Amino acid sequence: MAMGYFNGKFIHSSDLVLPIEERGHQFGDGVYEFIRVYKGRPFMMNQHMERFFKSADAIRLNIGKTAEDIIAIVEDLIERSGETNCDVYMQATRGIAPRNHLFPNVEASISMTVKPFKLISDDIRAVGATVKLLPDERWQHCWIKSLNLLPNILAKQEAFEAGALEAVLVRDGFITEGSSSNFFIVKNGEILTAPATTHILHGITRMAVKEIALDLGINLKEQKFTPHELLAADEAFLSSTGLEILPVTKVDGQKIGNGRPGMVTVTLYEEFLKRV
């Protein structure tokens, strides 16, 4: 059953609960996290919690609960749902108050949902994904997992309408990340990904990729690279909670490498599956 949580109450996800003057609804004034649960266990939960609270601190939002409190709610919500393989979405906003740009003196509003997840199809994994390069038109603090995702949505939609699974964004001549993912290339057995600056989300699966590469003895550099370097790469792949690790074999109609998922990407994914 699709379950939800809103400010202390467990609800069905279709229940009407959002007050009209909730600041997430009116301003996008909040932060969120998206966590995948495998066999009843949230994957890399502590890392997700650390990022959730860092994002809240960055926008001066007092969540009003500890990480342990949030984890307990998540575990309760998963148990009530009866799901074992599912996605948990959570968000915290600056609360419910009459519309005013200034911070209100009210408690944060916390909501969550839990739903069964859908894995990327084996067909897509077998041939690799297509992506489209687009300008990175987001704000300067992409490391904050903010509710304000309109530029990401517009880029994702444009990519979809062009027949691509993801938009890969370019800022000042360098690739940053996907509209809802981190992005990597492989050249001569070495992995490159954009540095963890304010211009990219510090992805949890990105963190897992770094750890796996280290364990396997694969060199991984956090280093800027250009669209030209991408097109000359041997392999490319995306990472995110929802995509896990997904090979990219075509960019704007051009093949990457031999046009098939590469061995480095496949090996990383196999090791990722062992961890989950």
Is 145 an annotated catalytic residue?
A: yes
∠ CA 264-268-269, nearest 5°, is 120
Q: Are 86 and 115 in contact (CB under 8 A)?
A: yes
Q: How far is CA 56 from CA 134, 143, 199, 225, in A?
A: 29, 11, 17, 30
Q: Which of 145, 156, 210, 250 is catalytic?
A: 145
The residue among 173, 160, 145 whose CA lies nearest residue 50 is 145
* Phi, psi torsion values for 186, nearest 5 degrees: -125, 130
Amino acid at site 88: V
What's the token pair of residue 9?
A: 């109450």
Amino acid (one-letter) located at 186: V
Q: For 224, how many CA atoms within 13 A lie in the half-sphere containing its CB? A: 8
Which are the catalytic amino acids?
145
